[in-house]
Chains A and B, each alone.
Chain A
Amino acid sequence: MPAEKYKAVIGLEVHAQLNTSTKIFCACRSEYGGEPNTRTCPVCLGLPGALPVLNREAVLKCIRLGLALDCEISFASIFARKNYFYPDCPKNYQISMYDRPLCENGSIDIEADNNKRRIGIERIHLEDDAGKLLHEKGDISNIDFNRSGVPLVEIVTAPDIGSAAEAAAFLRSLRQYVRYLGICDGDLEKGSLRCDVNISLMLRGARELGTRTEIKNLNSFKAVRSGIEFEIERQSSLLDAGKPITQVTQLWDEGEKKLVAMRGKEEAHDYRYFPEPDLPPLIVDDRFVAEAAADMPELPGVKKQRFIDEYGLSEYDAGVLTVEKELADYFESLVTETSDPESSCKWVMREILGQLKDTGITIAEFSLSPRMTGELLILVKEGVINLQAAGAVFSEMLSSGEAACDIVKRMGLEQISSSEELGKMVDEVIAGHKEEVVRYQDGNLQLLGFFIGEAMKMSRGKANPGILNELFKLRLHRRD
C-alpha cells in the first residue's frame, strides 16, 4: 500500500458559521434561510459609504472556542482586508484577520485507527461570509446576499494530520466542540461547517516536505475522507512514477466522486492583505476573556472522564453518551430520576439511541422526557414489570405519549411475583420437559435459561425472571 511508503502531511482549514443573532458587521438577522435578499442592509450589501461595526457576540463566541481549544487569546488582534473579485463578495474584499488573529496555538486531542493524537491549532480568526450565487438555466446567475456578513470563524490546524481517518476524527471532534459550546450547529451539508484540506506527501523518514495541494468543497465527513484518500492515491502514484507534484487547488465533486483541478487563473490570487482601516484593533482584555469563559460549558473530554469516574461507565459508553451535549444531558437527567446510572446507561445506549437511529431524529427532538423514561426504569427496578414488558411499554409510550404506569395498568403488564402463582408454572414446565430435566440434573446447567424462557412464555412475559430463577433452581435440585 502506497500510504506506507509515503507519509501524508495534512492540514485543515475549517470555516464554522457562528450562530449569532445578527451578522458580524451589521444588525441584519444572520439566521440561515429567508427569501433572497431580505436580510440585507447597506453594510452587508457593500453599498457606497456603509461601514462595518463589529458584533460583540461573535467575538465572545470566537474566544470561547479559542479557550475550549487551549488557544492563547490575543490582547490586540487586527482585522485585515483580503482583496479579490467575485460576484458573491459585495465589497470585493473580505474582512478577515491576517497576521494578528484572535486565537493562536491551541490543540485538539483525537483518536483514530486506535491511535490517540494531539492536533495543533495554529490559529482561529473571525471573518465575514460571502453571499450565495444561484445559477439559473442558461447564463443567468442571481445572487442572494442573506448570507453575506454572517460571522465565520476560520480554524487552521498545524500540518499534524496523517490520514483521512484522522482528518475525519478531527472534524468530528471540532464539530463536537462547536456544538457543546453552542456557537455553531456544525452542519456540513448546510454549509455551516466547511472544510478545506492542504495535503502533501513525503517519503517515510525523509525530512523535506513535499509539494502541497489544496482541496476545497468537502461538504460531508464522507467527502473529507474520500477526497483525502483520492489525493493521497493520486500523489503517491505520481511520485511512484517519478513525476513531480504541482501546486494545485482541486474541488471535490461529490456526484462524480472525483477531484477536479481549478484553472490556474482562478487560483492565482494575490489577496493584497492590509489592515482594515474601518475597524480599530480589537482589544480583548482580561475582563472580556473572563466574560467569555464564564459561559463555558463542561467540555466533551472532561465530561467523558467524569461519566467514567462518577457513574462507573465504561470508556466506550461514556464516549458515546458524550458525543452530543444534549444526549449527555439527557442521560444525566435520567440518572437523577432513577438514581441508577447502570440501568440508565443501558437504556439510553440500547433503546433510546436505537430509536433515534431508526427514526432519524436527534435527542432534542425525542418525545419522551427524562422524567417519563425514568418512571419506566423505576417500574423495572421496583419489580413491577420485567425488562421484556418494559420494551413493550416503551414502544407504547412513544406512540401514545402516555405515562408508563398508565400503560402498565391498561395492558395488565404488572409482573407476576407471587411464588404460589409462579410455582404452578414452574411445576408445569418441569412436568412437560422430563428429558431436559434429566439433562439438567446430569450437569447441563445452561438449560436453566430454557426453563425460565418456557415459564415466561406461559406467563405471556409477565413473570418475574428473578423469582423464576430461584424457583427452578430449588425445584430442580437433585435431592440425593
Chain B
Amino acid sequence: MSALTDYSISELQRLYKKREIGPVEVVKAYLQEIDLKDPLVRAFLEVFHESAVMRAGELEEMDPEGMPLYGVPVALKDNISVKDRLLTCGSALLSQYTSPYDATVVHKLIEAGAVIVGKTNLDEFAMGSSTENSAFQVTRNPWDEECTPGGSSGGSAAAVASGMVPVALGSDTGGSIRQPAAFCGITGMKGTYGRVSRYGLVAFASSLDQIGPLTRDINDCAVVMEVLSGHDPKDSTTLESPAPGLVQGIEEGVEGLKVAVPAGIAGWQVEQPIIEFQEEAAAVLQREGATVEAAGLPGMEMSIACYYILATAEASSNLARYDGVRYGNRIEGATLREMYENTRGKGFGEEVKRRILLGTYVLSSGYYDAYYARALKVKSMICESYRKLFKKYDLIVMPTTPSTAFKIGEKSDDPVSMYHSDIFTAWVNIAGLPAVSIPAGISAEGLPIGIQIIASAGEEAKMLRAAGTLERSFSFRRRYLPGADS
C-alpha cells in the first residue's frame, strides 16, 4: 500500500498546506488503488479517472485554506446525484439515466475541496442489506471475498475498507451505512434525521433516509459530517438549527456521561464475539468516567415490522415515477398500461418489486388502518419511549448488528432473515436519532465487529465523544488489516 493513501484527512490537510504533497499525486495514487483492487472487490459502478485528475489539478492552483476536504478523494453511493453523470441506483431500469443536477451534498463536498472519484455499488434503490440486490455486480467484502460487504451502501463501505478511497458517502434508511461499516471494519455515521440534506438523494423511504459518511476513523467521519450538515432551503425536512461542531468532541472523553447498554442482549440471538466486544465497550466507557447501566430498549421487537411497513409504503410511492414515460429504460407495449408493466416488471429487481407490492398493500383501502396507520402509532410510541429514555441517559451503546458479515448468497433467498439483520439499526431511523458505528475488533473468522453509539436528536457531538474514547481503546486500525490473516 502506498503511503499517500494512508493519510487521514487531517494529515492530508497538514501536508497539502505545507505543499509537501499535492492533490494530483494523491488522487492518482487512489485511482491506482482502485485499478488494482476493484477488479476483485467490485465496489465501483463508475470511476471518474479523467475528471478526478482534472479537478485535482484545478485544486493545485487554489489555496487549501478554508477547504476542510481539500484534495480528499470521495466516492458516492450511486443513489446520489452528480450533474451529467449516470445515476443508476443499482437498477437496470436506470442503467442509462444521467442526472442533470448536483445533490446538495455534492455541492458541499466540492465547495469544501473534495474530489469526486466515482460511484459505488448498492442494493437496487438502497433496498437490501448485502448489496447483492444490485442489477450490475456483486461487491465483495475486503475482509473475506466470500462474504457480502453488507448493504445497502456496500460499495461505499468496501471501497473505504480496501483503501480505494478515504471517504465515501452512503445513505442510511434502516442501517444501510452502519451495517456495512460494521461488516467492513470502518466507521459509518448517520446524523439526526434532517441533519444532512436529502436533495439529490434518490428517495427510498423519505421519512427515514439520511446521507452520511463512511470513513476509516472517527476523526475523518467528524470532518466530513461537519461539511455535509446544515439546513438546506431545497429540503424542507432539514433541521433549522446549526450543525454542531463535531471534531473537537472526539478528544473530550466521556467523563460524566450516562450511558445505557441493552439489558438481556443475549436474547437477541447475538453472536458471542459481538457480545464480548459490547461488554468491552461498556467496561472502557466506565473506566473512562462514564456511568454505564443496563436498560431495556423499548419497541425493538416491533421495530422491524414497523420499519418494513413505513419504508415500503413510502417506497411504493417514491418509486412510482419510474414508469418509462420521461426517463429510464422504456420497454414498449401495445398499450400505455402494457408499457408500464413491461418497464417496471422487467426494469425492477425482485426485492424492489417485493417492497413495492408490500408498500402498496399496506396503504390500500381496507388495509391502511391495520398496517400503515398502526405502524405510525408504533413509530410515535417508539419516538416517545426514546425521548423518555434520553432524559435519563446521554447515549446508548450497543452492537451495530447481531452477526458479522454473512456469506454471499446465504440470505438472498430468505428475505425475512435478511430483514432481521436490521434489528439493531432500523429502530434508530424510526426514532430519527443520530448513530455511528465504529469497528471494535474481529471475530475468530477474521470478520469485523461494529459497535454502535446512539444519541438523542441533535446530540451528535456527545455521540462522538464516546466514539473517540472507544476508538482510542479498540485501536482497530493499528491492529487489523483487511485481507491479512488474523
Contact = CB atoms under 8 A, between A and B. Distances in A.
A423 interface: no
B30 interface: no
B99 A270 contact: no
A299 to B, nearest CB: 33
B479 interface: no
Interface string B321-345: 1010111000000001000100000
B236 interface: yes
A105 interface: no
B364 A278 contact: no
B383 to A, nearest CB: 15
A92 B323 contact: yes
A233 B78 CA distance: 60
Determine the main DSSP class of A at the interface with B: loop
B87 to A, nearest CB: 6
Given A46-B326, A52-B236, A90-B326, A81 B321 contact: no
B94 A272 contact: no
With a 10 A CB-CB cut-off, give which of A50, A54, A87 has the most chain B CB atoms. Answer: A50
Interface in B48-107: 79-81, 87, 89, 94, 97, 99-101, 103
Given A51-B234, A272-B317, A272-B364, A45 B326 contact: yes
A48 B317 contact: no
Interface stretch (B196-204, B295-303, B418-426): B196-204
Interface in A413-451: none
With a 10 A CB-CB cut-off, give which of A42, A47, A51, A270 has the most chain B CB atoms. Answer: A51
With a 10 A CB-CB cut-off, give which of B205, B233, B321 has the most chain A CB atoms. Answer: B321
A361 interface: no
Interface in B363-417: 363-365, 368, 372
27 contacts: A42-B101, A46-B321, A48-B81, A48-B89, A48-B99, A48-B202, A50-B101, A51-B199, A51-B236, A54-B236, A83-B317, A83-B363, A85-B320, A85-B323, A90-B321, A93-B320, A143-B325, A270-B365, A272-B316, A272-B365, A273-B363, A274-B314, A274-B372, A277-B237, A277-B314, A279-B237, A280-B237
Contacts of B321: 46, 48, 90-92
B313 interface: yes
A272 B206 CA distance: 17
Contacts of A261: none
Given A49-B200, A270-B365, A272-B364, 12 more contacts: A47-B101, A48-B87, A49-B79, A49-B80, A49-B202, A50-B101, A51-B237, A83-B316, A272-B363, A272-B365, A273-B363, A277-B206
Determine the main DSSP class of B at the interface with A: loop
A372 to B, nearest CB: 49
Nearest to A52: B236
Contact of A278 (B101, B233, B236, B368): B236
A85 B340 contact: yes
A47 B89 CA distance: 13
Contacts of A49: 79-81, 87, 99, 103, 198-203
Nearest first, the 6 closest Cβ-Cβ pairs linking A and B are: A92-B320, A277-B206, A277-B207, A272-B363, A48-B202, A49-B200
Interface string B185-227: 0000000000000111111011100000000000000000000
A53 interface: yes
B336 A87 contact: yes
A93 B317 contact: yes
Nearest to A82: B317
Interface string A29-66: 00000000000001001111111111000000000000
Nearest to A45: B326
A57 to B, nearest CB: 15
Nearest to A92: B320
Contacts, number: 96
Nearest to B94: A48
B251 interface: no
B360 interface: yes
Contact of B325 (A42, A53, A54, A87): A87
A65 to B, nearest CB: 23
Given A50-B199, A51-B234, A279-B236, A274 B317 contact: yes
Contacts of B207: 277
Nearest to A271: B365
A280 B239 CA distance: 11
B111 interface: no
With a 10 A CB-CB cut-off, give which of A52, A53, A91, A277 has the most chain B CB atoms. Answer: A277
A277 B207 CA distance: 5
A47 B200 CA distance: 9
B235 interface: yes
A42 B201 CA distance: 12
B333 to A, nearest CB: 12
A42 B368 CA distance: 31
A53 B236 contact: yes
Interface string A269-293: 0101110011110000000000000
A279 B207 CA distance: 10
Contacts of A46: 321, 326
Nearest to B344: A85
A229 B327 CA distance: 44
A280 B100 contact: no
Contacts of B206: 277-278
A270 B364 contact: yes
A471 B99 CA distance: 90
Nearest to B339: A87
With a 10 A CB-CB cut-off, give which of A50, A143, A272 has the most chain B CB atoms. Answer: A272
Nearest to B198: A51
B200 to A, nearest CB: 4
Nearest to A93: B317
A273 B368 CA distance: 9
Contacts of A83: 316-317, 320, 363
B313 to A, nearest CB: 6
A81 B336 CA distance: 23
A279 B89 CA distance: 23
Interface in A76-120: 81, 83, 85, 87, 90-93
A47 B327 contact: yes
Contacts of A53: 233-236
B418 to A, nearest CB: 24
With a 10 A CB-CB cut-off, give which of A45, A48, A279 has the most chain B CB atoms. Answer: A48
Contacts of B360: 272
Contacts of A143: 325-326
A92 B234 CA distance: 21
A274 B312 CA distance: 12
B164 to A, nearest CB: 25
B234 to A, nearest CB: 6
B320 A47 contact: no
B380 to A, nearest CB: 12
Contacts of B317: 81, 83, 93, 272, 274
Contacts of A85: 320, 323, 340
A45 to B, nearest CB: 7
A476 B319 CA distance: 94
A463 to B, nearest CB: 73
Contacts of B81: 48-49
A74 B314 CA distance: 25
A274 B326 contact: no
Interface in A180-218: none
A278 B237 contact: yes
